[in-house]
Structure 1
Amino acid sequence: MSEVALQLSDLLKKSRQVAESNGQQWWAYAEPEQTSPCQYGEVVNEQVAWWPVFVQNPIDFSGLEHGLELELHPDIKAYYNVAFGGGLKLQHQRGPVELLMPWHQADTERLQQNIIGHVLMKRRLKQQVTIFFAVTDDEDLLLSVLNSTGEVYLERVGCEVKEKLAGSLTEFLQSLSLPA
């Protein structure tokens, strides 16, 4: 297992442990067309409780890579192959972040389509290729891996990356803490 996968797995386990010990549940939008292996209990107001479920069948990114003529950074492939989930809310020194995860196996198709769209936008704008993995409270700011180096940047949508947050995805994940 890669360092990224180990670090993300550890964050997921610790976060769940704390939530359960505090009697908290995590909630996400319940897709009516397809249930997630993460969800449990009844759907309430289109929301369902969830816990992360570790991926058993790895996501195959080869079609995306072939179509884009681009090899995804190994950290991104490792990251998205850890768990299904509804998005893990954590804290970074810059503010709250939500780590993105596919909701179920079929959702990996949507994830790959979004990555393709993002890469094509970056190319059209003649910018360095980044791959997103988290969002912030500001809808215009993403957390992305610079595909050529593996460094983590705060990225304003449509703009070249400028603000480096970590030298690697593992380093970035290590800098996160559970929300208070």
Structure 2
Amino acid sequence: MSETLLLQQTLNQFNQLHPTTFHDDAWPSPCEIGGLLDDEQIAWLPVAREGESLNALAKALEVQFPIALHQFYSEFFAPNIQATFEGHGIELIQPWSKDDFERLQENITGHVLMKRRLKQPETVFIGLTEQDDVLITVELATGNVCLEQLGKKPHHILASSLEAFVEQLSII
């Protein structure tokens, strides 16, 4: 599975770089290891998760999410993952903790409802780009991974599936 590839790439990054992330007392995570390295940074390691998925959200929204999307958001806790795609910097959104997973689902709900209100293809965001108003999304009807300007239809297909997209990433 591509999401396992994403986890493997992230673990490889950890083993090579020992990444750190911003620590916020209000948002603790099982990913945090050790104590603060300075006033704001803490080392982290992805933590595998089991038993959680987007099934309840999909049912509530009356949609079907691609299986890869369930895995992408439900396989592990981690901070957002920095990567490059075709030479462009991107940030893949990941749940940092159980509370963050709940917040993520609320944001996905708002996004899908906005797409319905605008009568646009339903998408779920998975990442951020170097441009503040351009998201990386998965189009629910096709599974395509696309670039999408906020409030607009997807305008550029990056990959035909989430699996194909992840395989083209370089974790940084």
What TM-score results when the alignment is normalised by the length of structure 1?
0.87
1:110-134 per-residue CA deviation (whole Å, 9 max, x = no partner) reads: 0100000000111111100111111
Provide structure 1 residue ranges, at least 5 long, that are not aligned to the other structure: none
What TM-score results when the alignment is normalised by the length of structure 2?
0.91
TM-fit CA distance, 1:159: 0.7
Instruction: Check the 8 A contact 2:90/2:127 in 1, yes or no.
Output: yes
Matched, 1:146 2:139: yes
TM-fit CA distance, 1:34: 4.4
Which residue does 1:89 correspond to in 2?
82
The SS at the match of 1:59 is: coil
Provide structure 2 residue ranges, at least 5 long, that are not aligned to the other structure: none
Instruction: Check the 8 A contact 1:8/1:82 in 2, yes or no.
Output: no
Tell me how far apart the structure 1 counterparts of residues 64 and 128 of structure 2 sit (CA, whole Å). Answer: 23
Runs (4+) off by over 3 Å: 43-47
Tell me how far apart the structure 2 counterparts of residues 12 and 69 of structure 1 sit (CA, whole Å). Answer: 32
Instruction: Check the 8 A contact 1:75/1:150 in 2, yes or no.
Output: no
The SS at the match of 2:21 is: strand
Instruction: Check the 8 A contact 2:2/2:167 in 1, yes or no.
Output: no
Which residue does 1:42 correspond to in 2?
35
TM-fit CA distance, 1:46: 4.0
Which residue does 2:163 correspond to in 1?
170
The percent of aligned pairs where both chains have the same amino acid is 33
The SS at the match of 1:162 is: strand
